[in-house]
Amino acid sequence: MTIPTPDYLEFEEFQNRTKKLEKIKKLNINPYPYKYEATHSSIEIKDLYGNKQLGHSDDAAAGETPLVKFSGRLVLFRAMGKNAFAQLQDETGKIQIMFNRDQTKVEGLDPIKAEISNIKFIEKMIDLGDIIGVEGNLFLTKKNELTIYAKKVTLLTKTLLPLPDKHSGLKDTGVRYRKRWLDLISNQSVIETFKKRSLILKIIRTYLEDEGFLEVETPILQNIYGGAEAKPFATHMNALHQDMYLRIALEISLKKLLVGGFSKIYEIGKVFRNEGLDRTHNPEFTLLEAYATNLDYNDLMTFTENLFETIALKLNGTTKVIWQKHEIDLKAPWKRLSMKNSIKEYAKIDTDKLSTEELNKKLLDTEIDRDKLKNATRGKMIALLFEELVEDKLIQPHHIYDHPIETTPLCKVHRNQEENKEILVERFESFILKKEFLNAYSELNDPIAQRKLLEDQVLKRKSGDEEAHPLDEEFIESICQGMPPAAGFGIGIDRLIMLFTNADSIKDVIFFPIMKMEE
């Protein structure tokens, strides 16, 4: 068997840098040392010393200004006679370095034995992209730029492949998503996006924990999947000789914990849906689900809009968020409409006044996929009318509540069900910028009703609906032992991050989005 040779091994730059690597090793310089004790990051240096009168290069050369140790990636280098100037970049930004022919020393280099001076070693043996540590004194250039006068330079990592061209940058989105490390090196704004992602998750956890919620973890591999209408990823466990599934939601396991006695719980974790990819969908994504006993969906409307408002205020100091050309105000309370009233307001259609045949005719007048209308019940048609004629009008935050029962088998029937009307459930979805951001229910805890609804889902599966729920006997058994009144919600974290980072694609907020494998 022959192992194929990757293209990069044939690159001229790879071969040149490999030769330099061998020369460096022959000089008894370790090109990959174990550690380096930097004293400051780039941002810390700027925050501490950026507004101080530090003196100029002569003061730094004499050691009369603050001494720092800093490490980063070399992203710019230019020789200027006796001196050479460079920029080193770390996670927090860039800082200028000055190397001096007489004072800068390379750690481990004996210039006499090596027959190469310190400054020539830096110029000839260190390349853009290499990671180095510098120890030196700070000063201000004539242009008032904060700079480290390098007294000692340590090679920390010799790179064998070059950075993207500094002028054209890294603009191919396929390369940016597939080789995210290059994207992070090339674009400081991308680093800031992912830092903001981490901060948002911290704000969410703090908000939930301040409200008494406990974070839990539940299995990713499941014998039976459930909690959403989606097609799963299937796998096989050799040890048990059985097929298993990657979870499509967190709901079923979390409800079992409510049965066990927990009153407020949440989980933030990966879920997997074997579906398409587009601007707002990735088959692997991060989901938040939270459940609380003795609450209903009305309580959650207030709770969740306050969560969004809190995130906005903690991040930006205002409830207003700019996304592309829209200014979105997340201030609570949000507009609330029943699904049928939203159709009446935004599509000018009163579904209560139309027969089932007339609803079908309204749908045929849209661009709906006709397959969706096969065996569609009246309630399903109302939900489809909402999707086709209302969703794209929901720019500012809306709670759309009281959905037809056909939309979910896991939700309580509306407590004020009207006679001779479609059966509605106590469910709401929250929409911003035409997209669903949140799904919430008054949770169904009647085991007899739950079994009946899941049996109906089995019939739908047999008729060809691959996204219908399977029948989960263990789940029904658990609620037979008593699940208290409860409400729960789920939020797609990646879509939430898109909103707060002004990202146009979900791939911009996932470190490593799903991409087709390269040949």
Sequence-ordered alpha helix ranges (H) in 439-501: 447-462, 473-480, 493-501
Angstrom distance (rounded) from CA 319 to CA 316? 8
Residue 268, number of CB atoms within 10 A of its CB: 18
Strand pairing class (424-432; 435-442): antiparallel
Angstrom distance (rounded) from CA 95 to CA 92? 10
Which of 490, 485, 332, 340 has its CA nearest to residue 402? 340
Q: Report the top-level CATH class of 7-163.
A: mainly beta
- 73 forms beta bridges with 89, 131
Angstrom distance (rounded) from CA 469 to CA 442? 19
Domain ranges of the chain: 7-163, 186-334+396-508
DSSP assignment of 258-277 equals HHHT-SEEEEEEEEE-----
- As a CATH number, domain 186-334+396-508 is 3.30.930.10
Residue 483, number of CB atoms within 10 A of its CB: 23
Strand pairing class (93-100; 146-157): parallel
Per residue of the chain (519 residues), give pLDDT as tens: 788 888 888 899 999 999 999 999 999 999 999 999 999 999 999 999 988 888 899 999 999 999 999 999 999 999 988 999 999 999 999 999 999 999 999 999 999 999 999 999 999 999 999 999 999 999 999 999 999 999 999 999 999 999 987 655 677 888 899 999 999 999 999 999 999 999 999 999 999 999 999 999 999 999 999 998 899 999 999 999 999 999 999 999 999 999 999 999 999 999 999 999 999 999 999 999 999 999 999 999 999 999 999 999 999 999 999 999 999 999 999 999 999 999 999 999 999 999 999 999 999 998 888 888 888 899 999 999 999 999 999 999 999 999 999 999 889 999 998 887 899 999 999 999 999 999 999 999 999 999 999 998 888 888 888 888 888 999 999 999 999 999 999 999 999 999 999 999 999 999 999 998 876
Residue 82, number of CB atoms within 10 A of its CB: 10
Element (H, E) at 352: none
Name the pTM for this structure: 0.93
At 329, give phi and psi (nearest 5°).
Answer: -105, 115
Residue 52's pLDDT is what?
Answer: 85
The three-point CA angle 367-371-375 to 5° equals: 120
The three-point CA angle 429-484-437 to 5° equals: 15
